[in-house]
Structure 1
Amino acid sequence: MKKLLYIVLSTSVFFITSCKRKTTEPTVNNIKSTLVKYAKGFEIKKSKDIITLIVKNPYQNANKPISYTFSKTNKSQVKIPVQKLVATSTTHIPMLELLGEESKLVGFPHTKYVSSKNTRQLIDQGKIVEIGQEAELNTEVLFDLQPNVVLAFSMQKTNKSLSLIEKNGIPVILNGDWLEETPLGRAEWIKVFGILFDKEKEADSIFSIIESNYLDAKNIALKAIDEPSILSGAVMQKDIWNLPAGDSFVAKYLKDANTNYLWKNTTGKGSLSLSFESVLDKGQQADIWIAPGYFNTKEQLLQSNELYKQFDAFKNDKIYTPNLKTGATGGVIYYELGPTRPDLVLKDIIKIAHPDLLKEYEMTFFEKMK
């Protein structure tokens, strides 16, 4: 299994009642910390047979961390390895599959958005049950499944569905990977999955390969002579154009791909909300337009606003989107697999910006808009 995972990754080269939930870090003698290199949202500490996971950012604007404890022997902790899991985000699927643990997934909300062929097969076979939407989980179905753990994410401190699950004695672990600020920080959350399935060494090895692939790709990009200028985003509502802020993880991709993102000097780790006119003024002559919102074709862009045709990237057919590559039921592969495989995302962007550096590489997520 380890050999197979290595081949797959390297050739790509490109809550909690029974969980003993706490809002402060536990004080334990002889604690040993697991190395976390990029992720800012979690820590892992060990003492004897107990593993403590500290989620620093369990939800947006959280002011206290949450701690979860795991053990193979101590019944007062979450018992590992987990045998039955409910997950709530498609970004959890690739991490389960890389560890070879997708068969432990018994419930998932809105299964139609799952793109992976392996997990889709389990859904089609009835081995993974539909449990509603994330914000409105069907708790009756979930309780019938009796999972050992529910791996969830929450936009805010209170969540009625998750609170009800906790009250019924099922541990809920809040996964904050989506709040990470760097591509490798997001991918490093596979180490948390390693804890759940008692596969910490495997998780560390997988992440090391992804990290190595990413850094190798970054070094390849440094060989480029030119830095093409980049435009991103589009108008999502009214006249407001949303695009990545200068400190966002998307801007980090564009920097590591050795491009000139036109809004790289702005502050903020999320999105910027700008007027159409200001973006047109600054980005009209941009060489490349990456990820133009939810639009899939140039015709859709023009139907929304004919002024889009004034951009040079539109005129020169230099618009690229990740929306066109989908799974069998319509889920966008980029949103599912991208956070776990930042090395492939970076190589896609390098291929777009510096095609001569990766002549034989075929893009995994992005495709030229027609």
Structure 2
Amino acid sequence: MAVNASLGVLLAFSGLLLGACRNNGEPEKKSADCGELPALEYSKNLKVGTLCGEKVAEIRSIVGRDTLVKRFTLGDAPQKVVALSSAQIGYMLRLGLEGRIVGVGEGKYIADSALYARVAAGQVAEVGSGSTISLENLVALQPDLVMSFATGGGHDDYERIEALKLPLMLTSEWQEDGPLAKAEWIKLYGTMFGVDALADSIFEQSKNAYLQVANGGVAGVSPARGGSEQQGASEGEACPRVLVGMSYGGVWYAPGGNSYTARLIKDAGGCYLWAADTGRELQFTLEEIMKVADSADVWVNPGMFGTPEELLAAEPRVKHIKAFKDRRVCQNDGRKGPGGGNDFYESAVAYPAEMLQNLKGCIQKSTNGADSGRTGFDWYHNIFIF
């Protein structure tokens, strides 16, 4: 139910992995009666803890103009999981839980070669997603858990899955504002699958390594939640000015200053052109971009295009952008699966320090595309380096 015209908040309770009754048939006490879960260190959309003696997760998703908040009681670890997003697979792979995956959306998007091979061999089912999802195939798997997500768009599949009465969890790590906030979601999987200590250890190691990279290798200096306090490059280094986005149909789409990408660029030592913006998404005409393009040293995330030729074919006028002329364009598709799936969306969320190091190297070290080495350029790479 909507609270107001601009933001509706719906709090729902799900006994996701537990039966409806306990204690000799007495109804299970709802976790809402036991207080509130403490906030995590970075994440704004996830809480995990113990209420009434039970492990509980609370997940917040922005669905269109509404905010959906659901609590899940986490009981026995699910043995058969259908994971419909790349990030969900990435967290499970990091924890060594790939054997629990019995279904995915589309196998061609799987980047991990071993999981891709299992899908190709028919050992892991493809059920589709959004408008293509096969509810019949989903039910046939008899999963202990289906993991999906909600965008608020017409291609969402979660309402149809809910109608089947299958155990469903929506994750929203992709709506977090910072790399460490996304990485912290590994704690959900640790709690849910009974490997809490491993997940906590991985996150702490990842966090410390990330902060070292973000602070120029200086350990023990904690940046602001979700992003570093520095304004760009480390002391003594130039701060490359960074352009982000691409033009589609004459409209240039770019992330706002409070976005995940903006914070990642900041921690990598770059100075994002619209860092002062307070939003998450921006739109410009190509003419507006051309007016500021000469002030940008590096171009990051040029849409879906992975080569200079693809960029020029999509929009010939990008040849006038300084970063393109200087051959300093960084794309995140340096690691792909056997079917062409981009590993950035699968495993990078679970390896934030390595991802940051990749981007930092691409922004600061790849000067003109003349060097042939690709050492350290895993997800991010200069598209002019072959």
TM-fit CA distance, 1:93: 1.2
Alpha-carbon displacement from aligned partner over 1:77-103 (angstroms, at most 9, x marks no partner):
xxx211111110011112111111111
Preserved contact between residue 14 and residue 70 of structure 2 (Cα < 8 Å) = no
Please, what TM-score do these two structures have when normalized by structure 2? Answer: 0.81
Q: 1:129 aligns with which of 125, 128, 134?
A: 125
Q: Does 1:365 align with 2:343?
A: no
Preserved contact between residue 105 and residue 128 of structure 2 (Cα < 8 Å) = yes
- Map of 2:61 onto structure 1: 57
TM-fit CA distance, 1:112: 0.9
After superposition, residues 152-301 of structure 1 pair within 5 angstroms as 152-156=148-152, 161-220=157-216, 222-236=234-248, 238-269=249-280, 271-301=281-311
C-alpha distance in structure 1 between counterparts of 2:148 and 2:374, whole Å: 39
C-alpha distance in structure 2 between counterparts of 1:95 and 1:160, whole Å: 22
* Range that drifts further, 319-328 or 329-338: 319-328
Alpha-carbon displacement from aligned partner over 1:251-281 (angstroms, at most 9, x marks no partner):
0011112221111112212x21101111111
Please, what TM-score do these two structures have when normalized by structure 1? Answer: 0.84
Number of residue pairs aligned between Structure 1 and Structure 2 = 340
| Structure 1 gap ranges (5+) | 1-14, 72-79
C-alpha distance in structure 1 between counterparts of 2:137 and 2:236, whole Å: 54
Summarize the Cα distance change of 1:125–1:189 in structure 2 as closer, same or farther, 3 Å threshold.
Answer: same
C-alpha distance in structure 2 between counterparts of 1:261 and 1:228, whole Å: 8
- Map of 1:39 onto structure 2: 43
1:250 alignment partner AA: T
Summarize the Cα distance change of 1:324–1:218 in structure 2 as closer, same or farther, 3 Å threshold.
Answer: closer
After superposition, residues 301-320 of structure 1 pair within 5 angstroms as 301-320=311-330
Alpha-carbon displacement from aligned partner over 1:31-51 (angstroms, at most 9, x marks no partner):
684661100001123135411
C-alpha distance in structure 2 between counterparts of 1:124 and 1:308, whole Å: 39
* Range that drifts further, 157-166 or 278-287: 157-166
1:242 alignment partner AA: Y
Summarize the Cα distance change of 1:241–1:86 in structure 2 as closer, same or farther, 3 Å threshold.
Answer: same
Q: Does 1:26 align with 2:62?
A: no
RMSD: 2.6
- Map of 2:114 onto structure 1: 118
Preserved contact between residue 224 and residue 354 of structure 1 (Cα < 8 Å) = no
1:353 alignment partner AA: I
What is the aligned-residue identity percentage?
26
Alpha-carbon displacement from aligned partner over 1:156-199 (angstroms, at most 9, x marks no partner):
29988534433443210111111111111111111111122111
* Range that drifts further, 52-61 or 194-203: 52-61
Preserved contact between residue 16 and residue 170 of structure 1 (Cα < 8 Å) = no
